[in-house]
């Protein structure tokens, strides 16, 4: 069966300015700047699962494309099923895309999945008459069952994890099964990713080519800003699977830098397996460099040393706030700030560069508390820091809290990390913007930071050179 997987058209400019059309003069290189753009890892994984089942699969990332181009590509492919992964701030564009696809491909089954599908569920069908079905959770199993039903011309109602027009949302969501063993799924379809088009975030950057990978699916944490669902418990890939995946990226695509992209990854969840992975990376003798997110500040120094020896050059640390009560609220757990300070110092001492990530606008956070977070960030031995408005995922506990208080903009197009779609309750929106600007100025204008990072221009030159290549390609 011919299947097309895609994401709706988007760019960082459009996420920041949802009411403006992207300028025709804007290049990819200018759009990504230091933010980076990565291939849709979830669709790469789905594509490999579908290909293993014998389907002919195409993948189209809507980054820096428009509806007309996506429609043109779909008409050429003439797929039996079109699966669109979308987020809430792109739902309006997704509906417009669905209208265009339906008018040109009346016999194609139109399906959506991704964060917005899990947030809005059956409402998606009510808001888009062109849509045939909504896939929930991890799409592999329900999508495979859907393809079987379509292939044999059977009714698609009653599939667990799929809401169709003739099915009950309650029945579709009940007993939704996750993938039990991650090693049973094939490697992501990395051959469908254009390695020359994407560029990593500056905090991941070392050498090109680059790729981000996941060591797990689901999550064991219950952070207030995140909407990972209880029906998706954490499941880890084995060390042998990860080693095979990394070796494939190195040998087949020349990848030189990897980022372990999942927040609660193998290094935070399973120290014993993390030791084995570090050993396996050393035994590859490929000189791979890697970075990771770090949410576990109980990590032992011995493991940090092994990580450094296996190629780890940077850890992105989820510090979040310099006020203990606010950090407890955002992370859903208590961990002393002074222990975080000690652990970041240990990371630096073993030779791993550190990035601190901080969020402002936590429900109840005051302007004075935000200033305390800035002071705390400046007191840590960090190489870099990011200061952002709280990343409220639609459906998360903190999002719902602001929604109940009437502090969320009803226009879903604005619901992205790059626009002001909520009013914080402890400070004004203007104060929130001011605090972020003040945080960057205070952190990066310190003479001590400039003295410590005197080699940083080399990194910027390397990154700038890669952006020039992207500009020529676009």
pLDDT reading at 270 higher than 80: yes
Helix (H, G, I), strand (E, B), or coil: what is residue 3? strand
pLDDT in tens, 330-375: 998 899 999 999 999 999 999 999 999 999 999 999 999 999 999 9
**Residue 170 pLDDT level (bands cut at 50, 70, 90):** low
Confidence of residue 117 (pLDDT cuts 50, 70, 90): very high
List the chain domain ranges. 2-173, 194-473
Q: What is the pTM of this model?
A: 0.92
Domains 2-173 and 194-473 share a fold: no
pLDDT of residue 214: 95
pLDDT at 465: 59
Collapsing DSSP to helix, strand or coil, 354 comes out as strand
Chain Cα centroid distance, residue 56: 26
Beta bridge partners of 433: none
Q: What is the pLDDT of residues 272-289, one digit of tens each?
A: 999 999 999 999 999 999
Tell me the pLDDT tens digit for each residue of 295-336: 999 999 999 999 999 999 999 999 999 999 999 999 988 999
In terms of CATH architecture, what is 194-473?
Answer: Alpha-Beta Horseshoe (3.80)
Q: Which positions ≥6 away from 33 have C-beta within 8 Å? A: 12
Q: Regarding the domain with residue range 2-173, which homologous superfamily does it belong to in the CATH classification?
A: Response regulator (3.40.50.2300)
Q: Sign of torsion, CA 235 239 240 242?
A: positive
Question: Which pLDDT score is estimated for 35?
Answer: 80
pLDDT value of residue 456: 52
More confident residue, 252 or 203: 252
Q: CA separation (Å) from 64 to 37, 60, 195, 336, 444?
A: 10, 11, 15, 43, 31
pLDDT in the model for residue 267? 95
pLDDT exceeds 60 at position 230: no
Query: Closest Cα to residue 144, out of 94, 115, 184, 102?
Result: 184
Q: How far apart, in whole angstroms, are the C-alpha atoms of residue 31 and residue 108?
A: 33
* pLDDT score at 201: 83
Chain centre to alpha carbon of residue 238: 21
For the chain, give the mean pLDDT. Answer: 90
């Amino acid at each position: 069966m011919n299947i097309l997987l895609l994401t709706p058209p988007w760019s960082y400019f459009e996420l920041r300015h949802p009411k403006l059309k992207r300028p025709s003069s804007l290049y990819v290189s200018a759009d990504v700047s230091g933010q980076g753009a990565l291939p849709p890892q979830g669709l790469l994984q789905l594509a490999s699962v579908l290909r293993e089942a014998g389907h002919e699969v195409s993948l189209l990332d809507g980054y820096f494309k428009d509806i007309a181009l996506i429609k043109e590509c779909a008409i050429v492919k003439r797929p039996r099923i079109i699966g669109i992964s979308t987020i809430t701030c792109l739902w309006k564009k997704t509906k417009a895309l669905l209208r265009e696809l339906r008018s040109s491909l009346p016999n194609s089954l139109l399906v959506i999945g991704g964060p917005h599908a899990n947030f809005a569920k059956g409402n998606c069908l009510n808001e888009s008459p062109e849509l045939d079905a909504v896939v929930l959770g991890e799409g592999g199993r329900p999508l495979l069952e859907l393809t079987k039903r379509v292939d044999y011309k059977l009714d698609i109602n009653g599939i667990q994890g799929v809401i169709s027009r003739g099915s009950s949302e309650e029945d579709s969501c009940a007993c939704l099964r996750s993938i039990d063993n991650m090693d049973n799924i094939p490697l992501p379809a990395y051959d469908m990713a254009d390695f020359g088009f994407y560029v990593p975030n500056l905090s991941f950057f070392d050498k090109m080519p680059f790729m981000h990978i996941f060591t797990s699916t689901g999550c064991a944490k219950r952070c207030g800003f995140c909407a990972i669902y209880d029906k998706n418990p954490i499941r880890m890939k084995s060390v042998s699977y990860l080693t095979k995946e990394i070796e494939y990226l190195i040998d087949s695509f020349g990848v030189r830098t990897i980022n372990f992209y999942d927040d609660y990854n193998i290094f935070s969840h399973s120290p014993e397996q993390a030791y084995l992975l570090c050993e396996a990376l050393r035994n590859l003798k490929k000189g791979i460099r890697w970075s990771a997110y770090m949410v576990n500040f109980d990590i032992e120094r011995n493991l940090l040393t092994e990580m450094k020896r296996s190629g780890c050059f940077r850890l992105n640390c989820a510090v979040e706030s310099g006020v203990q009560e606010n950090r407890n609220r955002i992370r859903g757990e208590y961990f002393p700030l002074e222990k975080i300070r000690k652990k970041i110092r240990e990371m630096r001492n073993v030779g791993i560069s550190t990035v601190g990530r901080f969020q402002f606008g936590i429900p109840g956070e005051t302007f004075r508390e935000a200033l305390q977070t800035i002071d705390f960030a400046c007191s840590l031995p960090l190489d870099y820091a990011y200061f952002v408005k709280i990343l409220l995922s639609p459906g998360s506990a903190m999002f719902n809290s602001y929604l109940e208080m009437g502090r969320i903009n009803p226009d879903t197009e604005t619901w992205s990390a790059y626009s002001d779609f909520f009013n914080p309750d402890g400070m004004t929106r203007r104060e929130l913007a001011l605090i972020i600007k003040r945080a960057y100025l205070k952190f990066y204008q310190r003479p001590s930071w400039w003295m410590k990072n005197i080699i940083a221009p080399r990194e910027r030159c390397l990154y700038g050179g890669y952006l020039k290549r992207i500009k020529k390609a676009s």
